[in-house]
Amino acid sequence: MIASFTTSDLTLSADKAYIKEFELFGTAKFTAYEFAPGILFELFMLLGFAETIFLFVIILRYYHKRYGTVLKPMPIVFSILLVAGGYDIFSALGLTNSIYMSEFAFMILLLTMAYRLTSNFIDAIDEVERLNLYLDTIVKARTRELEEKNNTLQMLSTTDPLTKLFNRRYLEDKLKKKVVQSERYGTPFSVILMDIDKFKSVNDNYGHDLGDQVLISISQTLLDNIRETDVAGRWGGEEFLILTPETDIVVCKTLAERLRIQIQNKSHASIDQITASFGIAQFKPDDSINSLIKRSDNRLYKAKDSGRNQVIAG
């Protein structure tokens, strides 16, 4: 038998303590003061031993796992629990005449745990917000980069690399849409087919580099003089096509004359005067894209056969 207890001088007075004598391991005898009735004395004593052993094992395992040694400073709360457990043993043995401290130590532990849990939760929320902000920044940057690349690809797929005007593929797509719109709503539109006069001689006499500069210069002249609703593009070689929405052949001819004069008056280094011929056709109900382009092309060749630097409409 590890411990035996005998009771003496029992009293139920509220201002007196219960006095108990107990024998430990059959040798040492101690006198203890029980501040609670019943068997709480034995429970608190056993609790004190259990607390001490349990907390020592926890602390030993915790620090061995985290730091590899038990020589590091122990957390304050664990120290309070350890001290409280030992203090309760002394109180149970009567070596101190005071109340048990375990309850207060556990209360401190719970408050500390609550604080740590709350602090960790707040830190976790802050970390999630930081990661969300970081990911949002990355997504926006990637989206912006993707949009820029898509715009670049779109421009490359619809733009002539030399003149920066729309290419033939884009012009054909716009013509298809205008044909559908005109057939459905009866809105007029016309096309201007333009060809630079004697451009082959420019390349032969001055070289292709200077010929390219002429193409670029005339392309800029077109952009500077067409309306915002008009669409100008390079049809092929030295041929250009201008799509004029909501425009009949009379107004379209006026626009072509203005372009002809601007090109004629534009100077080019080391090159004699550059001129262009124009053929104009207005879309008809029985037209297709091919027939429309064919009629404007016929007017263009008629302008060239008539001496070039002319506008022929029909």
Q: Assign 3-state DSSP to the chain and report helix, strand, coil percentages, each to 5.
A: 55, 20, 25
Listing from the earlier edge strand, what are the strands of the sheet with 239-245?
A: 231-236, 239-245, 189-196, 276-282, 311-313
Active-site hit among 51, 148, 183, 238: 238
Cα separation, 88 vs 143, whole angstroms: 66
Bridge partners for 236 per DSSP: 239
Question: By the 8 A CB rule, do 262 and 218 touch?
Answer: no
Residue 237's nearest CA partner among 280, 314, 300 is 300
Q: Does 238 qualify as catalytic in the annotation?
A: yes
Do you know the residue count of the chain?
A: 314
* Residue 310 φ/ψ, nearest 5 degrees: -140, 165
Interatomic CA distance for residues 233 and 314, integer angstroms: 21
DSSP 225-281: HS-TT-EEEEEETTEEEEEEET--HHHHHHHHHHHHHHHHH--BTTB----EEEEEE
Cα separation of 164 and 224, whole Å? 13
DSSP β-bridge partners for residue 159: 166
Q: What torsion do the CA atoms of 217, 218, 222, 225 make, to the nearest 10 degrees?
A: 70
Q: How do strand 18-24 and strand 28-34 relate by DSSP bridges?
A: antiparallel
Tell me which amino acid residue 227 is. Answer: R
Q: What CA–CA distance (Å, rounded) separates 192 from 240?
A: 8
Which residues are known to be catalytic? 238
